[in-house]
Amino acid sequence: MTLAERLDGDRFWADLLVQAQIGALEPRGLRRLALDDNDNRARLWLIEQGKALGCRAFHDAMGNVYLRREGSAPNLAPLLIGSHLDSQPSAGSYDGTLGVVAGLAVLRTLQERGIEHERPVEVVAWTNEEGARFAPGASGSSWFAGQRGAEAILETRDDDGIRFGDALKRCLALLEETEGTTFRPEPYVPHAFLELHIEQGLALESLGVPVCAVSGIQGVNWYDVEVHGQANHAGTTPETARRDAFMGAHALIGALKAAVAQHDDQVRFTIGKFTVAPGSTNTIPQRASFTIDLRHPSQAVLDELDAAFHELAEHQWSGCGASLKVASRVAPVDFDPALVEIVDNGAKHYCPSAPRLVSGAFHDAIHLARVCPTAMLFTPCREGISHHPDEHIERNDAEIAVRALASAVENVLLKGERK
C-alpha cells in the first residue's frame, strides 16, 4: 500500500475541524491574528499533536513551530511540509490551516504505520503569513529563507502600536514553558518544501478538479502612499483655495489605475486601506493615506508599473503633493521543475485532467523557493471565496488533495533512498 492509501482521511478531517475551533467565530469562520492568543493556542495544539505522536517539536526565534520525524539518516536535510496557522481578521477555516493539518496527516501516517525513510520529515507552521496584523506578511518564512532580517520584522507594529517583537516575546515565553518543544535558534536549508493550500481562485472549481500542482507564484509589490493637503473649514473655504487631500488622492488613484490598464489583464491592483485625517465631517482633509497591492507574474511588468507609479507620485494632484514608498517587494517565482513534476504526478494520479496553475496569492512557498526546491498543491474553495467566514472546501476534495500531497512526499523520500 502506498503512503497516500494508508493515510487516514477521517482523522485528517477531524484534525482540521478541531483546529478550526481555535479562534472560531459565530456562526462560522475564524479570527487568529498573528501572535494573538488564538494563534498561540493553535501552535500549542500542533505541538500537543506532535508529542502525542512521539515526534519531537522545535520552535525558532520567529515563533515558527516544527514537528520532526527522524529518518534513519538524521544528518540528511529534512523534507519540510507546511503552511501557516494565522488568519485574516474575519477569515475562513482553511486558508493556511489546511496545509499545516495536511502535513500533520502525512507525519501521522509515517509515524503510526512505522514507515521507514532515510531523510527526516518536518511539518512547519510559519508565523504571520497573512500580514493582517503586522504588515508585510510571511514573516516567519521570509526570515527562515534569509529574505528578510529579524530586525526589520521585529520593529513592525500593529494598528494598536504593539511591536511585533513584543508580541513575539509573549509567544516565545509561552513556547519556552511548554513541555516537549526545543528552541532551535538558526534556520536550516531544507531538502525541499511542499505546501498544500486552498486555491483562493475560481479555476479548479470551474474545471471540477479536486487538486492540482502549482508551478509558481506571481510577484507582489506593496506601497504606502500619502497625499498632503491643507486642513480648513468645509463651509467657508472656496474651491480655488482648497487643497483637499482626499480629492488629490482620488485624482492620483485614477491616474494609477489608468497606468495599470495599459497592461494585460493579469495585473492585479488593489487599494485595501484608505484613511483621511483629521477625519472630521466639516474639515477639509489634511492628509489622505492609502496602500497599494500590485501583482503580476512578470517581473518586467512589475518594474514598468513601479517606475510609472513613482513618476505619478511626483506630480501635484488637486493642488496636493504626494509621496509613494515601497513597503515590500516580492519577485515572482517559478517553482523547481522536477518537484513540480512529482507533485503534478501526485495530483494526476487522482485527477488525470488536473492543470498546473500559477498562484495569484502569495504564500510562504514564495520565500522557501529561494533556498530549496519548492512546489505547491491547490485544492478548490467554493466560488473562490477566501479571507471570509464563507470560505468553504469539500471534504472529498480536501481528502484527495492530502493524498496527492502524501504521494508527492513518498516520491521525494523514495528518490532520496534510491540514489
CB of 366 to Zn ion, least distance (A): 11
Rounded least distance, CB 95 to Zn ion, Å: 4
Shortest spacing between CB 198 and Zn ion, in angstroms: 8
**Could you tell me how many residues of this chain bind Zn ion (CB under 5 A)?**
2
- Output the nine-digit C-alpha cell for 287: 492628509
Is the CB of 95 or the CB of 244 nearer to Zn ion? Answer: 95
Report the nearest approach of Zn ion to the CB of residue 377 (Å). Answer: 13
Distance CA(76)–CA(29), nearest Å, equals 39
Chain length of the chain: 419
User: What DSSP designation does 263 have?
Assistant: S
Strand, coil or helix: what is 189?
Answer: coil
CB of 19 to Zn ion, least distance (A): 14
Minimum CB separation of residue 385 from Zn ion in Å reads 14
Footprint (CB under 5 A) of Zn ion, residues 57-116? 95-96
Q: How far is the CB of 323 from Zn ion (least distance, A)?
A: 31
* Cα–Cα distance measured from residue 238 to residue 25, given in angstroms and rounded to the nearest whole number: 48
Does residue number 360 form part of the binding site for Zn ion (CB under 5 A)?
no
Residue 58 neighbours by CB distance under 10 Å = 18
Nearer to Zn ion, 82 or 96 (CB): 96
Contact status, residue 344 vs residue 393, Cβ threshold 8 Å: no
Nearer to Zn ion, 125 or 284 (CB): 125
Using the minimum distance from each CB to Zn ion, give the nearer residue, 204 or 301.
204
Residue whose CB is less far from Zn ion, 95 or 391: 95
DSSP for 81-145, please give it.
EEEE----TTB-S-TTHHHHHHHHHHHHHHHHTT---SS-EEEEEES--S-SSSSSS-HHHHHHT
Residue 261: count of CB within 10 angstroms of its CB? 10
Which residue sits closest to Zn ion, CB atoms considered? Answer: 96
For cell 485528517, the residue is 12
Q: Between residues 135 and 247, which has the closer beta carbon with respect to Zn ion? A: 135
Q: How far apart are CA 27 and CA 48, in angstroms?
A: 27
Comparing C-alpha atoms, which of 140, 165, 142, 29 is closest to residue 89?
A: 29
Cβ distance to Zn ion smaller for residue 90 or 182:
90
Binding-site ranges for Zn ion (CB under 5 A):
95-96
